[in-house]
Amino acid sequence: MLTINKYTSLLLLAAACLNTACNKEVKVNIQATGNFGDSTMALKDAAKFPIGVAINYTPLMNEGQFASIVKNAFNSVTFGYEMKHGAIVQSDGSLNFTNADAMMNAVNGMTVFGHTLCWHQNQNADYLKRYAGIIKPQAVELSTNGGFENGLTGWSIFNSGNPAGTSTITATNDKNDVHSGSGAMKVVNPVGYPGSQWRVQVSSTAFATTIGKKYNISYWVKAAAANGSIRLSSGPTNAQYQGDQTIGTSWQQVNWTITADLVSTTFLFDMGQAANTYYIDDVSVQEVIETGGADQIVLKLDTAMKKFITGMVSHYKDKVHAWDVVNEPFSSSPVAIRNNNNTANTANDVLVWSDYMGRGWALKAFKYAQAADPSAELYINDYELESNNAKLDSLIAFVKELKDQGAKVDGIGTQMHISRLTATPGIDNMMKKLAATGLKIRISELDVKAMAGSAAPQPTPELLAYQAVIYKYVVASYMKYIPAAQQAGITVWGVNDKNSWLYNGGKEYPLLYDNNYNKKPAYSAMLQGLTGK
């Protein structure tokens, strides 16, 4: 790997890269002698705006070199994960700030940029979906031995005809008499007692219930002959009665819902109405968990969003003065506000707010953040703005829409997860259009993939040179086209390669420091961009 005291000549490389817009690999005679330029100056000392870096809990708290570089080279940090919904919100909806607070203490004295308040990923989406009723929580099974796999264990014979013993109630393992599994209950009632269903009766074990809640009792049943009759009743007191169910010779499922009026409830099979042989299997008792309709989902999500945003901004009000409020609001292909159709939503951490709340989700997010801290700077953030002009234009139009509706949007973040092959005209185009908004502009998550599909097993001096050129070009374009009053800062998305989200076991090397915390050519190139050299 190229070390910092050796260099690659960038002059021919930069010219060739600009002439071809860096949209394909440029073949240039790269020399391996000369001087890359100063690498001793701290990046933070070369700029009048914040130079930030993304950090994560484990390397910050456990790797001394990582923490030292963060503090010496940069003056601003963004927590890569630890301030996101998934890191903070617990399974019961409470907020746990433990790791974020520890990181805040570890970088005491540095500016912290809050990331992020409303994103469709990296969330406790399981909690959100359960809370909002998007998914129905799994009800607990309350029945005992409902499949009769253990014979009649858990069941009590209350009545067996008149006189007692006229009917026989047993367990059966005959596969012809079983709905599923290996067991069922068989009830032979040779005498009908019309109007006295209780004459043949089997009771369940008592199960805990909550007064006022609904419980569904279901079972599968068939009879040996047509026109059988069965019903359920509840106990042990305050009996409720199901209507008589006509039972045929094929398996059928019967359901009965009761509203509990006891804290401990039983139910009974009443089979005295008609003479027949009955087979009962797969008994289930579960609380009925009711979820609301679309309006209820929107209300619950709105409540959850407000709780998280208000909780985060309020908790860090004295330490965090700028926030990514809305992150990645647009899909890339097609370019549109995200929904469940244009955004993969199968991962456990994904919930697409806008799919349920419509375009108004973003306005609400900004309103809640402003209310929690009126003095904080509030940003919207997205990616591929340098390569997707339609997305760039759509985001700018959306920001105007939000501001026209009264949202406090102070700035726009462009992530810039790019590569050595990224077309430079797109970078300039983006900078010009963002500058024209008059808002503050951040490069919020900068990294540059050095490999970008190269067949080389490790980054070569040539690949590192291309990477360095792009880093310098991004910085130079930002300083050229974004007026000084709108320059809100540049944040590199990580310290060293092995701690990058793109590292992938050594397949990509996108950052300014290598795995051993040595500065790469990209560091000096970025420094040159900041100093205008």
- Give the start-end residues of each E strand in 175-306: 184-189, 200-204, 207-208, 214-223, 228-235, 245-247, 252-259, 264-270, 276-287
Do the beta carbons of residue 502 and residue 516 sit within 8 Å?
no
Count of other CB atoms within 10 angstroms of residue 191: 13
Do the beta carbons of residue 426 and residue 481 sit within 8 Å?
no
Q: Which of 82, 328, 386, 445 is catalytic?
A: 445
Do the beta carbons of residue 412 and residue 381 sit within 8 Å?
yes
CA dihedral 475, 480, 485, 487 (to 10 degrees): -20
For 196, residues 6+ apart whose C-beta sits below 8 A from its C-beta are: 272, 273
Distance CA 66, CA 501 (A): 15
Q: Which amino acid is at 472?
A: K
Per DSSP, the three-state class of 491 is: strand
Q: β-strand 155-160 against 111-118: which pairing, if any?
A: unpaired
What is the distance of C-alpha 79 from the center of its chain? 17
Element spanning 430, H or E: helix 424-435
282: alpha, beta or left, given left = phi > 0 and alpha = psi -120 to 50? left
Distance CA 189, CA 157 (A): 13
- 445 given a catalytic annotation: yes
For tokens 């269903």, what's the residue? 197
Catalytic residues: 445
